[in-house]
Amino acid sequence: MQECIFCKIIAGEIPSQVVYQDEKVFAFKDIAPAAPIHILIIPKKHISSLNDLGVEDAALMGHIVGTAAKLAKEFGLDKGYRLVSNCGEDGGQTVYHIHFHLLGGRQMHWPPG
């Protein structure tokens, strides 16, 4: 996906603050943090949104959630955190490469805005 900003970040064409990567996933700091800790976890494979997942992506999604839990521990989020993926216009999605926001370091509120 040549025009995808997150694919460009994975390729190193756009700089980012990488916190973790392996052969399947990539994690980096959000450029506009909404919490003291705000990390984006994305698959290296381009998938536009939650709506575009196939059954073949089940293990990949499990790996992303496991990576989030590992990073939460690494970043000291012992009191808890939020993991969220915005989907589509009403969901507030602005970048169409599926991503999970790992947010922590402050009290989260519910319902979200």
Q: 27 with 19: CB under 8 angstroms?
A: yes
> Is 99 an active-site residue?
yes
Site string for ligand AMP, 72-111 (x = CB under 6 A): --------------x-----xxxx----------------
* Omega before 111 within 30 of 0, i.e. cis: yes
Tokens of 82: 């939020």
Q: Which of 1, 14, 58, 65 binds ligand AMP (CB under 6 A)?
A: 14
14 vs 69, which CB is nearer to ligand AMP?
14
For position 32 contacting ligand AMP by CB under 6 A, the verdict is yes
Q: 33 with 19: CB under 8 angstroms?
A: no
Q: 4 with 45: CB under 8 angstroms?
A: no
| Residues contributing to the site for ligand AMP (CB under 6 A) | 5, 14, 16, 30-32, 40, 86, 92-95
